[in-house]
Amino acid sequence: MQKVLVTGATGFVGRHLCDLLARRGYQVVGTARSLPAGAGNPGYELHEVADIGADVDWDPILDGVDCVVHLAARVHVMDEQETDPLAAFRRVNVEGTQRLLRSDGMRNVKRCVFLSTVKVHGEATRASPFTVGDTPAPADPYAQSKLEAERCLEGIGSEIGLETVIIRPPLVYGPGVGGNFYRLMKMVSKGVPLPFGRIDNRRSLVGVDNLCDLILECLSNPSASGNRFLVSDNSDVSTAELVRAIASVMGRPARLLPVPQGMLVFAARLLGKSAEAARLTGSLQVDIRDTMRILNWQPPLELSDGVKSAVDWYQEQGKDA
């Protein structure tokens, strides 16, 4: 039985991944910043690691581990309070990753799968989707730190004989999702009119089940080693199409107002919401043909399946109460 360490095990992706690994017969050990209270036995071993920084003692946690999936990170912060955001991101995402990789216990690990972000390529696409071979162009401190962590992984991995795999996902959604996807579900559920009727963008998304399936593939597929992969549901949508898909599952009308994009962007700028508007009105597409070819893999679930799963969770939680 293969033993897998998952850092960030209680996060959005981590919870889904650990459950899937356990169901597939892996021995799972996870780390989290704090252990969830009253959660009972999750079916795998959990260790509390206050922060994925330079001071963590990884060796006891890595005992007997065959593969590592490194999910833990300081993620994009909407209301940044740090005076030096890049330094804050580097402390966790770069120095923390380096500390893990330099641990003596990593020398007995065969492979490390690192969850990066599509944002290392940039914030938006125009003429064509991003491909994994595109020159990186991170536009914010979070993306810059993830790119530096990728390079750290590949450099140290080469030194110690560690097989490395990097996955760069776009927006991940599914049961437990937050952010803009959650807000869209909430507004559609409440019947709030949304100003996206004339938005003709294209966005790549990936359902958390599809992402976790790819991570499992990267743990075992010999062809994964040494590669970087983009991932999506392989079915890009506009924001308006996504709203209609959510509304259809909810059995609610999609109340889409035909507001010109320029007017919407201008209004968002006045409200200090330019970044949020850019994500809802701009395009960000990824080309996953290399991922499918190299791994002989394809997303097992359609985007419609992922949307239904997320909406079902939202409604089961009584989010409108």
User: SS in 3 state form for 114-176?
Assistant: EECCHHHCCCCCCCCCECCCCCCCCCCHHHHHHHHHHHHHHHHHHHHCCEEEEEECCEEECCC
**Token pair 């799972």: residue:** 28
Residue 268 lies in a domain: no
Q: What is the DSSP letter of 45?
A: E
Residue 213 CA to residue 84 CA, distance in Å, equals: 36
Residue 236 CA to residue 257 CA, distance in Å, equals: 21
Q: How confident is the model at residue 271 (pLDDT cuts 50, 70, 90)?
A: confident
Residue 146 CA to residue 93 CA, distance in Å, equals: 6
Q: Which residues are catalytic?
A: 142
Token pair belonging to 205: 């998304």
pLDDT score of 101 = 96
What is the reported pTM? 0.94
**243-267 average pLDDT score:** 91
Q: How confident is the model at residue 281 (pLDDT cuts 50, 70, 90)?
A: confident
Residue 244 lies in a domain: no
**198-218 average pLDDT score:** 97
Residue 20 lies in a domain: yes
59-63, 272-276, 287-291: least confident range: 272-276
Q: How confident is the model at residue 268 (pLDDT cuts 50, 70, 90)?
A: confident
CATH number for the domain harbouring residue 33: 3.40.50.720
Nearest alpha carbon to residue 172 among 303, 67, 30 = 303
- Pairing of β 228-230 and β 163-168: parallel
53-62, 89-98, 215-224: least confident range: 53-62
**13-29 average pLDDT score:** 96
Residue 76 lies in a domain: yes
Dihedral sign (CA 161, 64, 165, 24): positive
pLDDT score of 263 = 85
36-45, 259-268, 302-311: least confident range: 36-45
Number of separate domains in the chain: 1
Residue 16 lies in a domain: yes
Residues in the chain: 321
Residue 12 lies in a domain: yes
Of 124 and 261, more confident: 124
Dihedral sign (CA 275, 279, 285, 288): positive
Range of the domain at 147: 3-168
Residue 279 CA to residue 264 CA, distance in Å, equals: 12
pLDDT score of 321 = 42
Q: What residues form DSSP beta bridges with 164?
A: 112
Residue 104 lies in a domain: yes
Residue 72 lies in a domain: yes
